[in-house]
Amino acid sequence: MDRAWDYHSPRLEIGFDTSGAELVVYRPNGVRFLKFAELEAAKVADEQRASRLAYLAGRLVSAGITVNEIDELRALTQSAILSQSPRTPLSA
């Protein structure tokens, strides 16, 4: 992604934008690094999703769905969640 940053680190290949009120740091692919507060919110959402998944899996077991089918459901759900953009902490 071609972008004019205030500073570009040739070694890390990340960009720094100081044009606004806060420092913004971009990955080599141009995607902004998340702040710790954003990461924490994403972590809470992920934990809530996992808790809900466990609850629903328990309901499926009580309905006669096999453990193997539930494991497959969990694997598919995890792969869908993990396929989202990587989350890397950065204090800004």
Are residues 58 and 42 both part of a single domain?
yes
Q: Write the pLDDT tens digit of every residue in 33-87.
A: 999 999 999 999 999 999 998 898 888 888 888 888 888 888 888 877 776 655 5
Are residues 47 and 73 both part of a single domain?
yes
Are residues 45 and 58 both part of a single domain?
yes
The answer to whether the predicted template modeling score (pTM) of the entire model surpasses 0.75 is: no
The domain tally of the chain equals: 2
Are residues 69 and 47 both part of a single domain?
yes
Q: Tell me the longest C-alpha to C-alpha distance in the chain.
A: 59
Domain assignment present for 58: yes
Are residues 81 and 46 both part of a single domain?
yes
Beta bridge partners of 25: 16
Domain assignment present for 26: yes
30: region left, alpha or beta (phi > 0 left; psi from -120 to 50 alpha): left
Are residues 73 and 45 both part of a single domain?
yes
